Structure 1
Amino acid sequence: MRHRLAVILPTFLAIYVACYYTAFLLRCDFTIPPVVMEWFWATLPVIVGIKFLVCVLTGEWRRTFRYAALPDMQWVVIGAVISAAVVYLANLTILPAFLYPIPRSVIVIDCVFSITLSGSLRMCCRAYTESLRPLFIRQTKKNPTLIYGTGPEGIGILRAVQAGGTGFQVVGLVGNGPIKERAMIAGVRVFSKRMGWKKLAQKTGAKKILIPGSASGKDIRDATSHCAELGLKVHVIPAVNEIIDGRYKLAVRDVEIADLL
């Protein structure tokens, strides 16, 4: 955590200073008078201190950046709004007595820019982890794979595979729901089940099929029978609740030396 903070703290400091300065620039039509710059420098420590305190209280720096998701973005918005509210209250009570009051437009603009830049930082970290970083890492050959289903279970499998380390490369989603053919989900094309498994395999070059455990027995039997004729291997991926209920068992192996390193 200390090593993370050594990077996170300077990064967020730069973001907050840039947001606050940009807010003053916009407020003054890109020409900040010297007296207003005095306001900026005098109130900057207060703004940064409030935002850092809110980050600590909301756990902003404890949430991982590599796997940023919608809940993380929601907390970014919540933290920025809380910070703006605290600054506004301080502006009404404490700041006029000791420092310069902050224009309300600056508080609003700063809040918007804080949300934008903090959220963009998380999204950029995730984009680097999932899209850019694999380009610079030597990877073993992965099996081209189709995922059956475009519902929550199928999308969950897709996300797990895209997170890396599975040995699968998703080349398409086989739609069996309301999502239209040729749609794109997380950069992966959706194909219609009506195309047939043979045409799907020829078009995508798939070697394996991943099917959610929640799929009906008829769908699993249909996929298994057709794919067996084509030499495609079918894997059924159980949902978490199915593992907990005991429908599927997790394999257990002895501890290896590599596990201890």
Structure 2
Amino acid sequence: MPLRLPSRPVLYRRTLIFLVHVALIPLAYLTAFGLRFDFRIPPVEFAHFQTTVWWLLGIRLVVFQAFGLHRGYWKHVGLRDLLDLGLAVTLSSALFAVALPALGLFRGMPRSVFLLDWIVMIFFSGGIRFAARALRESQLARARLDDGRRTFIIGAGEAGEQLLRQALHDPRAGMNVVGFIDDKPETHGRTLHGVPVLGHTGKLKELVHKHDVELLVIAIRGATGAQTRRIVERCRETSVEFKIIPSIDDLLNTRRCSAARAATSTRCSTASWG
């Protein structure tokens, strides 16, 4: 089987991430020395930095590679990525602290530098990742304002929040979500990812006209049939296009029915051929 090489954009991204790490690791280490000595590093301590930084760079790059930190998409960085980063920095710091005495380079080194380097490296590495994500989301926000249809999500619960996140991260959704509508009074005035809960469905027609809404999406997990029919009727009163996001239960029931029909069809076919 032929070896499959990464595509050019993937290689470019990985190389760029690797070079960023190569720059950040010495910078964080130097910043740790600076913090320890109020940014007036004595010559003898700067000599310690120059002697040991190459060992830290090598150890940390290898550990980062083992944790897959040279790969990945910073524009989609999340909590799991931050945990992996914290573990990688912690492990590399521990290995570095063990390696220096073995190499005879620990004598005279201020121990607080190790802790400061650990903190600064997590801050720098995590910060640049979330900065990349924030930049990406701001670009998507501008694209949504230009191209997306002004949308209300009806339901400020889990299903509505998931739909909003999809709309925020995927420009193909074509939605510029300008507000939530929810019948629970305790949600009114709150925000989800910066999008406000504007009111209840009784004021839907008024709010649609006020905010020039072009699309309504019903995303209420666990709604009863009566609740759904009432909300649908309110949507029809606005004369605006509306859609209903199926619940997980509906999807599972649909799959069960499809599987049952397929099994029945198979049994019937077998019987007829027998």
Same fold (TM over 0.5): yes
For residues 192 and 147 of structure 1, the distance between their equivalents in structure 2, rounded to whole angstroms, comes to 11
User: Aligned-pair distance for 1:140?
Assistant: 6.0
User: Aligned-pair distance for 1:60?
Assistant: 1.6
Note closer, same or farther for the CA distance 1:87–1:102 as it changes in structure 2 (3 Å cut). Answer: farther
2:78 aligned partner = 69
Q: Is the 8 A contact 1:145 1:207 kept in 2?
A: yes
1:56 aligned partner = 65
Counterpart mapping for 1:1-261 below 5 A: 1-91=10-100, 93-95=101-103, 97=104, 102-132=109-139, 135=142, 141-163=147-169, 164-176=171-183, 180-193=187-200, 196-212=203-219, 214-216=221-223, 217-238=225-246, 242-243=250-251, 246=254
Structure with the higher fraction of residues in helix conformation: 2
Q: Is the 8 A contact 1:23 1:110 kept in 2?
A: yes
Q: Percent identity?
A: 28
Q: Is the 8 A contact 1:77 1:115 kept in 2?
A: yes
Note closer, same or farther for the CA distance 1:195–1:106 as it changes in structure 2 (3 Å cut). Answer: farther
For residues 240 and 100 of structure 1, the distance between their equivalents in structure 2, rounded to whole angstroms, comes to 61
- The two structures, once aligned, show a CA RMSD in angstroms of 2.6
**Higher alpha-carbon deviation: 180-189 or 163-172:** 180-189
Q: Deviations over 1:72-115 (max 9, x none)?
A: 12222222222222222224x413x2565642211111111111
Note closer, same or farther for the CA distance 1:230–1:64 as it changes in structure 2 (3 Å cut). Answer: same
User: Any idea what SS the aligned residue of 1:146 has?
Assistant: strand
Note closer, same or farther for the CA distance 1:89–1:241 as it changes in structure 2 (3 Å cut). Answer: farther
User: Any idea what SS the aligned residue of 2:134 has?
Assistant: helix
Unmatched runs of 5 consecutive residues or more in structure 1: 250-261
With normalisation by structure 1, the TM-score equals 0.84
Note closer, same or farther for the CA distance 1:43–1:179 as it changes in structure 2 (3 Å cut). Answer: farther
1:258 aligned partner = none
Q: Is the 8 A contact 2:216 2:240 kept in 1?
A: yes
User: Any idea what SS the aligned residue of 2:187 has?
Assistant: coil
Note closer, same or farther for the CA distance 1:242–1:77 as it changes in structure 2 (3 Å cut). Answer: farther
Unmatched runs of 5 consecutive residues or more in structure 2: 1-9, 259-274
What residue identity is the alignment partner of 2:150?
P
